[in-house]
Amino acid sequence: MRRRVTGAQTAHMAATTGAQGAATTQLDLELATELPRLGIEPEWKAQQRLWGHPFHPMCSYLASFPAALTHAFIARYSRPGDVVLDPFAGRGTVPLQASAEGRIGVGNDLNPFAHLLTASKVEPASPAEARTRVARLRLAWPAAAPGYLARARSIQADPIHGGPDPVPAEVALAFHPTTFAQLLFVRDSLDLADRVDRFLAAAITGILHGKSASYLSDLMPNTFSMAPRYVRDYAARTNFVSSERDVFAGLSSKLDRLFRAPLPGSPGLSLLGDARDAGRRAATSLRARGLPDRIRLVVTSPPYLRVVKYGYYNWLRAWFLGFDPQVIDATLDDAHHRAPYLDFMREVLHGLRPSLTDDAIVVLVIGDVATDRGRRISSGHGLAEQVWADAAAPEGYRLAGVALDEVHALRKMTKLWGDEAGRATQLDRILVIGATEVGRRRALTGASVPVDWTWPPRLRGL
């Protein structure tokens, strides 16, 4: 039997019964479906897959959301000049979209790969800087080639002892020897602390592996790296030899695609750190640059309960960037189950509060997780509602409502598990809350504001 319970009642019950940490019950799930719906039509579904700035698809990233979805909230809930933050920025969709729409886009992530991708988008190289650097690398290559070709062959013959550092066998076999030699050279040459080099490194991660001729290795699809053992077995079974690809030519073509549009118009920031103190760090960095330091809009999709291993599924990109996939996963692996996840989300929302404007709006895109890497779980259902009741309401946020997004979730998880997708995340719930009652009212009023889907945006009309 279903009971009708309002959002406020849900929050009250959670607060008074200490629902936090309790096992999910049928009643939890029923309560979870009773939050008010917010009348935001998911118009982002109707936009083209690559809607938005050409930097968005620089490199694939698991569980990233479409740029159009972020526009639906950035356009409604912020104005040019406002600070827009994503504390779990991933590949930087929100900060990039915000910067491209005249806002100050701030991204934060604990994954160094995500941090690098975001930084390369919100503090990019200019076309001239990037092309000049590629030309310099290309010119330096002939002199360096003999040494690097010898090293590449030696590593491919013996990945552990063949070079100055051990290279995972699955990395060594992924490339044609000449391509591998060029990559080793570029990898040694690029300084990730340098803005221009970082941009080139991020662009290369986007062409490292994939099935078409624009990718440097044709061993795997471009979305994510397959399990290393599977790759090694497959390569041995099929006598795999990757096609020869020229790194400089591939990178130049990638730059042409990235620079099809002008650079994002407003400044942006990429921060590396835990979401729990992202607000404080964002304010400090914004102040240091003489920018407004209060955040008017947060749009984010927090990591799902144990759904994605960002290191494991990116081992080839991690190797190129000099990151250890196991360290990445150990660092991010902080919320396996529902109760600690809700505690974690409460700490995140607590940490954000002091840095928000009084009328700030927080938009949390949260999927219902039906499987945990293929295994069915029940604790993922109604997660957005639980986040409201156990994390946001106790911190004093005000509920505006929940918008739903079915298609996006399906598309997103298809990337991860193929046919398994239909049984993975089934529905994204978009929880919209105000920092105060003023924020809640602004969220309600803004929900009915029509959004201009013209791209590039007409900034004055927003």
Ligand X SMILES: C[S@@+](CC[C@H](N)C(=O)[O-])C[C@H]1O[C@@H](n2cnc3c(N)ncnc32)[C@H](O)[C@@H]1O
Binding site for ligand X (CB under 6 A): 61, 63-65, 88, 90-91, 93, 109-111, 114, 274-275, 301, 303, 310, 332, 334
* Core vs surface per residue 150-188: b (16+ CB within 10 A) or e: ebbeebbeebeebbeeebbbbbbbbbbbbbbbbbbbbee
**Which residues, in sequence order, are bridge partners of residue 399?**
433
- Which burial class, exposed, middle or buried, applies to 342 when counting CB atoms under 10 A from its CB (0-12, 13-18, 19+)? buried
Nearest distance, CB of residue 315 and ligand X, angstroms: 15
Residue 275 or 282: which CB sits closer to ligand X? 275
Nearest distance, CB of residue 301 and ligand X, angstroms: 4
C-alpha dihedral sign at 17, 19, 22, 23: positive
Using DSSP's 3-state secondary structure scheme, residue 82 falls into: coil
Residue 95 or 250: which CB sits closer to ligand X? 95
Please work out, in degrees rounded to the nearest 5, the angle formed at the alpha carbon of residue 312 by the alpha carbons of 24 and 384. Answer: 25
Residue 217 or 425: which CB sits closer to ligand X? 425
Q: Which residue is nearest to ligand X (CB)?
A: 90
Nearest distance, CB of residue 169 and ligand X, angstroms: 26
Number of H helices, E strands in the chain: 18, 9
Nearest distance, CB of residue 300 and ligand X, angstroms: 7
Transcribe 417-431 into DSSP letters: HGGGGGGS---EEEE
Give yes or no for a contact between 270 and 118, defined as CB atoms under 8 angstroms apart. yes
Phi and psi at residue 401, to the nearest 5°: 155, -175
Q: In whole angstroms, what is the distance from residue 391 CA to residue 384 CA?
A: 10
Residue 219 or 416: which CB sits closer to ligand X? 416
Nearest distance, CB of residue 272 and ligand X, angstroms: 9
Nearest distance, CB of residue 350 and ligand X, angstroms: 14
Q: Residues near 184 by Cβ (< 8 Å), separated by ≥ 6?
A: 148, 151, 152, 155, 163
Nearest distance, CB of residue 135 and ligand X, angstroms: 31
The DSSP secondary-structure symbol of 83 reads E
Residue 35 or 116: which CB sits closer to ligand X? 116
Nearest distance, CB of residue 106 and ligand X, angstroms: 13
Residue 276 or 398: which CB sits closer to ligand X? 276
Q: In whole angstroms, what is the distance from residue 264 CA to residue 96 CA?
A: 7
Residue 205 or 301: which CB sits closer to ligand X? 301
Residue 183 or 203: which CB sits closer to ligand X? 203
Nearest distance, CB of residue 328 and ligand X, angstroms: 8
Residue 7 or 124: which CB sits closer to ligand X? 124
Residue 63 or 172: which CB sits closer to ligand X? 63
Helices (H), 262-382: 278-288, 315-321, 325-332, 338-352
Give yes or no for a contact between 451 and 444, defined as CB atoms under 8 angstroms apart. no
Using DSSP's 3-state secondary structure scheme, residue 218 falls into: coil
Residue 199 or 341: which CB sits closer to ligand X? 341
Distance in Å from the first CA to the final CA of the chain: 46
Q: In whole angstroms, what is the distance from residue 201 CA to residue 203 CA?
A: 5
Nearest distance, CB of residue 289 and ligand X, angstroms: 21
Strands of the sheet with 356-367, listed across from one edge: 268-272, 104-109, 83-86, 295-300, 356-367, 428-434, 398-405
Nearest distance, CB of residue 256 and ligand X, angstroms: 23
Count how many Cα atoms sit within 13 Å of the Cα of residue 358 in the half-sphere of its side chain: 2
